[in-house]
């Protein structure tokens, strides 16, 4: 089994799917392809699940598990974020491959403005996107940048721990939900008593965690977290909607005061067909955007402000970045158009510039590592 995992990593797979009665499959360039010639048995899946579960007590109740998350490492090769679940009454396993090396912004093909975002002393930075859009890798790159370039105390709260950060110029404390801490919200409250400079929260899942994260940002900490949303405007709306109607006006004020940036991303197939490329919308919060967050009737103006701030602030909409990716021949026009916020407007703008069908693949792409990133 270890040889199979090794091959998947070497081939650049992002995930491995294992279930009884099927071939072991790997996700390569967005497609599920078989890794084995023979189908795997229920007993083989069960034995592998026992091997992957880190805690003895959990291993003893393997037959009772319906849904279980953990992480597992293969020495010298990489780590995996593991989900063990029941399907049709038997166990299934999905393993997300996490590389050993901490990626840089350049490795991931992210714009240099991410360095400025990581240099914020306080406030809230949100990385958003659907499952499998590379959020974990982007947050690891932010933590890695801070760790290499600054002398901070960084606390990460994760479920489970994915990338392992060594202490470099900073000291990094990594805490695992369910093992080191009871929950994100309890871990976040306790972290405020541990002299942090930077706090990473794996996910803001509930009102209590969001409220405590805002308090941490308000009291002078840099808080980095994720939300499962498609873009900046949806992210702000989703956070506000978590609170009761009578609380929402104050939450708007608190968000306007604390949010520094929202990075929303999607993964697209490369034009050459080998790997994935990140497309990112980046909202840098300006004074005008803060006013729009506070005023519920102006929140739809934010997308235009992101668009207009590209030259001055380094912000960008998805469509602006998609145009750049087409021009750089990293993605095809068809793929970009299908993923644009407004496909018809995107088509019109590209053709007005005479670039609507420029599809020759690039000869080199530093973002090819995105074919093997974590969600």
Q: In this predicted structure, what is the pLDDT of residue 368?
A: 45
Contact status, residue 132 vs residue 151, Cβ threshold 8 Å:
no
Whole-model pTM?
0.84
The tokens for 148 are: 């290499």
Contact status, residue 274 vs residue 29, Cβ threshold 8 Å:
yes
Q: How far is CA 208 from CA 211, 331, 342, in A?
A: 5, 40, 35
The residue assigned the tokens 């990473």 is: 200
What's the CA angle centered on 177, arms 170 and 125, to 5 degrees?
Answer: 50
Q: At what angle do helices 318-327 and 343-352 cross, to 10 degrees?
A: 40
Q: Report the candidate in 222, 167, 165 with the shortest Cα–Cα distance to residue 198.
A: 222
Give the residues of the chain that fall short of pLDDT 70: 354-375
Q: Which residues, 6+ apart, have CB-to-CB distance to 298 below 8 Å?
A: 291, 292
Contact status, residue 200 vs residue 184, Cβ threshold 8 Å:
no
Q: In this predicted structure, what is the pLDDT of residue 77?
A: 76
Q: In this predicted structure, what is the pLDDT of residue 356?
A: 55
Beta bridge partners of 176: 158
Q: Report the candidate in 254, 220, 227 with the shortest Cα–Cα distance to residue 152.
A: 220
Q: In this predicted structure, what is the pLDDT of residue 221?
A: 97
Query: CA 315, CA 308: separation in Å to the nearest integer?
Result: 8
């Amino acid at each position: 089994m270890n040889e199979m995992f090794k091959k998947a990593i070497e081939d650049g797979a992002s995930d491995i799917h294992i279930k009884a009665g099927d071939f072991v499959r790997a996700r390569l360039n967005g497609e599920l392809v078989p890794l084995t010639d023979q189908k795997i048995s229920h007993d083989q899946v069960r034995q592998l699940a026992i091997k992957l579960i880190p805690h003895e007590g959990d291993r003893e109740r393997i037959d009772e598990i319906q849904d279980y998350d953990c992480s597992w490492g293969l020495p010298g090769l990489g780590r995996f974020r593991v989900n063990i679940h029941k399907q049709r009454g038997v166990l299934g396993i999905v393993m997300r491959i996490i590389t050993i090396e901490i990626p840089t912004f350049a490795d991931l093909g992210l714009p240099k403005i991410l360095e400025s975002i990581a240099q914020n002393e306080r406030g809230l930075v949100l990385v958003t996107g659907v499952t499998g859009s590379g959020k974990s890798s982007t947050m690891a790159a932010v933590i890695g940048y801070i760790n290499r370039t600054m002398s901070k105390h960084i606390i990460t709260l994760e479920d489970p721990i994915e990338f392992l950060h060594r202490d470099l110029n900073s000291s990094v404390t990594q805490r695992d939900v369910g093992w080191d801490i009871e929950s994100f919200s309890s871990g976040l409250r306790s972290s405020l008593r541990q002299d942090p400079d930077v706090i990473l929260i794996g996910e803001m899942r509930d009102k209590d965690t969001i409220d405590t994260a805002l308090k941490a940002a308000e009291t002078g900490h840099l808080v980095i977290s994720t939300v499962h949303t498609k873009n900046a405007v949806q992210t702000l709306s989703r956070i506000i909607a978590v609170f009761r109607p009578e609380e929402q006006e104050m939450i708007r004020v608190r968000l306007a005061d604390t949010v520094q940036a929202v990075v929303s991303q999607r993964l697209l197939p490369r034009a050459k067909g080998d790997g994935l490329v990140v497309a990112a919308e980046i909202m840098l919060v300006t004074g005008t955007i803060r006013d729009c967050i506070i005023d519920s009737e102006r929140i739809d103006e934010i997308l235009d402000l992101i668009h207009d701030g590209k030259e001055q602030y380094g912000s960008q909409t998805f469509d602006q970045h998609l145009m750049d990716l087409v021009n750089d021949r990293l993605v095809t026009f068809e793929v970009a158009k299908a993923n644009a916020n407004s496909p018809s407007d995107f088509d019109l703008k590209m053709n007005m510039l005479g670039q609507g069908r420029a599809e020759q693949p690039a000869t080199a792409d530093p973002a090819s590592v995105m074919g093997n990133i974590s969600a």
